[in-house]
Structure 1
């Protein structure tokens, strides 16, 4: 059921388990990365698999629905926004569970804008630190150009560690704007590519 972060009981349960064992190392990493220079970043919701997840899902940057107060304060596919809803629906359609996945961003600090090249460079080390915590990861799921570009920087800097992350699947961002194009055939092709990538992800987990 999408957008459950809009429900007070669900949101309270996520907040109560913010430092549950499977997400504690990741959310302590987030705490250590928050600073006055780059700013704030959201925790990973305990709905997700945390260090036990087999999938690392990377998007661009945290959106407004991750903000404390106006949003949930978490990265979560149950956030109250269209992009999260689309992800939740597509994961559910192919049989991928929230616990299979840990969400992250190429630039993990909140800017609500396309990250610049230097910011994507800055996002590499946090991503490596996250991967070092996720000892069961088998698939890296890159959604959008910024996620791909951030991963390419990681591969260049840490090629051996990137290989150990397993299968890499790249597709378009789950946001509606990712399909914008004046040619309807291109829009359709992008949508089909995204759907195929989710099916490929499920197959890599043995769900297909």
Structure 2
């Protein structure tokens, strides 16, 4: 997103056909009560993506002005960079993915239980828009907790998802542990989850 040409392309495609329904959903969810949330960059697959990738909450690199204004794997932050590397290693492209968050509004903090509850309805609405969904990829505890809430509230909708894969958050903090064996195990778990995701898309 630091490349002006690339960023201009993303801004110009904000309501391209494959992301229009997603970004119109975002528009409908922005309000005075919960606040702002970023659009999904048209680099991603939008409603045609095979993967819905869920993290915790939008980070600073997604903000309008100081950031890109988009959820995008090309944002200028270490988490996006690491994701891009790991997806690339297993042959999953940005177009295979639609990024989202367990709490999709911007808070830049760990969501509380009530906020994870509030994130369920937007997540269900997004699932219903995605016409080619093969897998939900849950990265981190908050993503897993948000999905668990959806499963309890909408079990029939959750069962329609072919594959649900859960692993650690791609950020460096997810690996922090005093025991090197635990750190190694987390790295291996995350790598295996990305390979499993590629397999769900017939890429592995």
1:6 CA drift (Å) = 1.0
1:142 aligns with 2:151: no
1:39 alignment counterpart = 35
Q: Which of 170, 174, 178 pairs up with 2:174?
A: 178
1:89 aligns with 2:85: yes
RMSD of the alignment, in Å?
Answer: 0.4
1:11 alignment counterpart = 7
1:163 alignment counterpart = 159
1:71 alignment counterpart = 67
- What count of residue pairs does the alignment treat as equivalent? 204
Residues 16-71 of structure 1: per-residue CA shift (max 9 Å, x gap): 00000000000000000000110000000000000000100000000000001111
Q: Which of 53, 58, 62 pairs up with 1:57?
A: 53
> Counterparts in 2 of 1:103-118, with a 5 A limit?
103-118=99-114
Measured in 2, the distance between the counterparts of 1:156 and 1:52 equals 26
Stretches of 4+ moved more than 2 A in 1? Answer: none
Measured in 2, the distance between the counterparts of 1:163 and 1:78 equals 31
Give the TM-score normalised by the residue count of structure 1.
0.97
2:129 alignment counterpart = 133
- Unaligned segments of structure 2, at least 5 residues: none
Give the TM-score normalised by the residue count of structure 2.
0.99
1:135 CA drift (Å) = 1.7
158-167 vs 15-24, greater mean Cα deviation: 158-167
1:26 aligns with 2:15: no
